[in-house]
Amino acid sequence: MASWYGGVFNGRKTASGETYDMYAMTACHPSLPFGSIVRVVNVHNHRSVVVRITDRGDLVEEGRIIDLSYGAAKKLGMTQSGLAKVDLQVLSLGKQQKQPVANNQ
């Protein structure tokens, strides 16, 4: 299941450090590395988009697996309902960001 986000988040920093653009083809995923490229297919109307993972989020509600930008959701025809059953295909994995090393001195 996919949902979408926009509005109040537009222009804010994402977890990847990028500025969120609700019209860009981006998405939030809880575990895929930032920069991963994913094809998202709406199971009901067979429309598809390719998005880049730029954000994180808690998507456990209602079995959601991805949170799409408004622009991606619009292309999938799901902005009215807010949710859509989708299939995901990871086209490429982004590079894992290195965690800062704690200085124990």
Whether residue 97 has pLDDT greater than 60 = no
The Cα–Cα gap between 9 and 25 comes to 15
Mean pLDDT estimate for the chain: 88
Domain boundaries, the chain: 2-92
Q: How distant, in Å, are the alpha carbons of 23, 30, 37, 73, 89 from that of 70?
A: 6, 18, 17, 5, 20
Task: Assign 6 a pLDDT band (cuts: 50, 70, 90).
Answer: confident
Distances (CA, A) of 45 to 63, 74, 75, 76, 78: 20, 13, 11, 8, 10
Question: Predicted confidence band at 104 (pLDDT cuts at 50, 70, 90)?
Answer: very low
Question: 3-class DSSP state for residue 33?
Answer: coil
List, for residues 46-95, the tens digit of each pLDDT value. Answer: 999 999 999 997 766 778 899 999 999 999 999 999 999 999 999 999 98
Q: Which fold has domain 2-92?
A: Barwin-like endoglucanases (2.40.40)
Q: What is the pLDDT of residue 95?
A: 82
Q: How deeply is 88 buried, as exposed, middle or buried, from its count of CB atoms within 10 A (0-12, 13-18, 19+)?
A: middle
For the whole model, what pTM was predicted?
0.85
Strand-pair partners of 4? 68
